[in-house]
Structure 1
């Protein structure tokens, strides 16, 4: 089986696994305990905090560890709304945000907040003018993901951050798909908060983090907690954090080389679909700097995505029909709805995502398999 679902999760890096084992056996103490064994775990934890903050170019005092991206998104929004820059009850978000963002916003909608969901243009990007027009005097939070997990479009975070600054609005961004894939040194310091996850960068599952601007006087969602300065309860997963940090060090130092590798793979894969191009619609940004090359979202006209996924699986290729957090739902993916794609066409959507182990030969074999499936099941034209 050749794996093409790295946007869902990545295998644990062997060096990160070794770090986990060492931390779990040698630094096993509770990092909040006052004895020397607890102190050793605490020192390791703070070293990881400083290292990860340095990689993202943010203040370590604003970095908190969580169980992953979903919890990070939820707690970040809770924290920002506990300390708004001004009075108000209006929030702006993208229609295609991760399900954890939508869940958090639905909670606040039930509490009387008003939510504006912005659609995306045909290239999967937020229209900046639409964003400006949606802002009201009572707007206190904007949340827009950095990279979409299904088609890989990169939102104009710097422009959005500037708009938020001008209007005294908190800005949260889901960095789960961009952390370790894009140079974040310029954008990370510009926003109020961002989330990230370990298993997307070859770290362990069940660990992630959130950055909150240290100048924000947030209130904890869980009262009475002592861990992570009260940000969340529960004994801190020091071995998982250490392994995630090791994985982050490795992937951050290879961002440029990985990016170029994925550009090459993307080009080779799309060229391999040349003989069926009339049946294929690729959802992507117009400009290269607005597109993460490792994620390809497309539809094959006339063939449902789930059928295509199962056929690929039968032939030895693991692809997906979108975000693993909404697999099994009958409705089309949020990104397709946000881009205005008709429901029947949206159900034809599939996602192919590359990792550092993916080779040109791998993508050519997948391309051949897709061509064979389309010819066998007589896909129609996208036009």
Structure 2
């Protein structure tokens, strides 16, 4: 089976795996314990906090380790809202946000918050003019993904941040799809909080991090929590944090090389599929490792199953909504509805992907197009 679903999850980097085992066996103490064995684990934890902060270009005092992107989004949004008092209950977000954002905001609706969701423009980006038009006197938070998980567009957060600072609005960004694929230091400096997730850049599953601007005075969501300065309960997973840090450093050290690699793969895929140009729609992407497309008149799930039969693992969208028989949120945000929205498929590359396999996948999809259209 040839894997083309790296946007959903990556294999664990071998060096990161070795470090995980070493940390779990040699530095097994609870990082909150006061004895020497606990202190050794604490040293590893704090060194990882420093390294992640360094990659983001931020103060390590704002780094909190979590179980991943979903928990991170939930806790970050609640932390930001807890830092403001009596300023309003209106939030602005995007239609194509990750399901963890939408579920968090749905819970907040039950607490009398009002939420305005914005569509994409034709290029797959949030319209700044529409965003400005959605703002109200009682708007307290904007939460926008940095990179879209299904088509790979990157949102104009610099412009959004400038608007937020002018109007005193907090800004959260889900950076799960961009950390390790592009340098997000410029983004970390301008948002109030962001989230990353280890398994998106060859770290372990079940580990991630949140950055919150240290000057914000937030309240713990779990009142009795003591770990991570009260940010979340539960014993800190030091081995996974150390392994994630190794994977993150490796991703950043090779950003330019991987970017060029993904551009070569993307061009090879598009060029091989060119004879069928009139039968598919390919969406604009700012992340070359992610290709979002539709085959006209063919349901994406069928294409995914046919590719699987021929030995290729692709996706029909975000792994957190696959199987729900609902259209891709990104397609809906783009104004693609009904049967057309269910035609969507996603192909995503990793550092192990090679040109030959990409061409074979494109030829396979070409055959499916010929048979089904």
Tell me the TM-score normalized by structure 1.
0.96
- Cα displacement (A) at 1:196: 0.4
1:263 lines up with 2:258 in the alignment: no
Structure 1 residues 329-340: aligned runs within 5 Å: 329-340=324-335
Q: Is the 8 A contact 2:327 2:337 kept in 1?
A: no
Partner of 2:96: 96
Residue 116 of structure 1 aligns to a residue whose secondary structure is strand
Partner of 1:5: 5
1:358 lines up with 2:343 in the alignment: no
Q: Is the 8 A contact 1:85 1:169 kept in 2?
A: no
Match of 1:373 among 355, 368, 371: 368
Find the aligned partners of 2:134 and 2:298 in 1 and give their Cα distance: 37
Partner of 2:296: 301
- Cα displacement (A) at 1:86: 6.4
Structure 1 residues 1-383: aligned runs within 5 Å: 1-84=1-84, 87-285=87-285, 291-377=286-372, 379=373
- Cα displacement (A) at 1:193: 0.1
Q: Is the 8 A contact 1:10 1:201 kept in 2?
A: yes
Residue 320 of structure 2 aligns to a residue whose secondary structure is helix
Find the aligned partners of 1:93 and 1:284 in 2 and give their Cα distance: 21
Cα offsets for 1:260-289 (capped at 9, x unmatched): 11111111101111111110101115xxxx
Find the aligned partners of 1:302 and 1:136 in 2 and give their Cα distance: 41
Larger deviation: 252-261 or 192-201? 252-261
Residue 11 of structure 2 aligns to a residue whose secondary structure is coil
Find the aligned partners of 2:108 and 2:309 in 1 and give their Cα distance: 43
Cα offsets for 1:86-139 (capped at 9, x unmatched): 611100000100000001100111111110000111211000011111111110
Residue 120 of structure 1 aligns to a residue whose secondary structure is coil
Consecutive unaligned residues in structure 1, runs of 5 or more? 286-290
Q: Is the 8 A contact 2:50 2:60 kept in 1?
A: yes
- Cα displacement (A) at 1:189: 1.1
- Cα displacement (A) at 1:372: 1.0
Cα offsets for 1:178-203 (capped at 9, x unmatched): 01111112121111000000000100
Partner of 1:288: none
- Cα displacement (A) at 1:85: 7.2
What is the aligned length? 373
- Cα displacement (A) at 1:224: 1.1
Find the aligned partners of 1:86 and 1:189 in 2 and give their Cα distance: 26
Larger deviation: 212-221 or 257-266? 257-266
- Cα displacement (A) at 1:342: 2.0
Q: Is the 8 A contact 1:124 1:153 kept in 2?
A: yes
Cα offsets for 1:144-164 (capped at 9, x unmatched): 000000000000111111111
Find the aligned partners of 1:85 and 1:58 in 2 and give their Cα distance: 26
Find the aligned partners of 2:60 and 2:369 in 1 and give their Cα distance: 51
RMSD: 0.9
Consecutive unaligned residues in structure 2, runs of 5 or more? none
- Cα displacement (A) at 1:248: 0.3
Larger deviation: 312-321 or 325-334? 325-334
Larger deviation: 167-176 or 256-265? 256-265
Find the aligned partners of 2:94 and 2:309 in 1 and give their Cα distance: 36
Find the aligned partners of 1:191 and 1:123 in 2 and give their Cα distance: 23
Residue 345 of structure 2 aligns to a residue whose secondary structure is strand
Tell me the TM-score normalized by structure 2.
0.99
Cα offsets for 1:328-356 (capped at 9, x unmatched): 11220110111100221111100000000
Find the aligned partners of 1:144 and 1:41 in 2 and give their Cα distance: 35
Find the aligned partners of 2:314 and 2:33 in 1 and give their Cα distance: 45
Find the aligned partners of 1:357 and 1:52 in 2 and give their Cα distance: 24
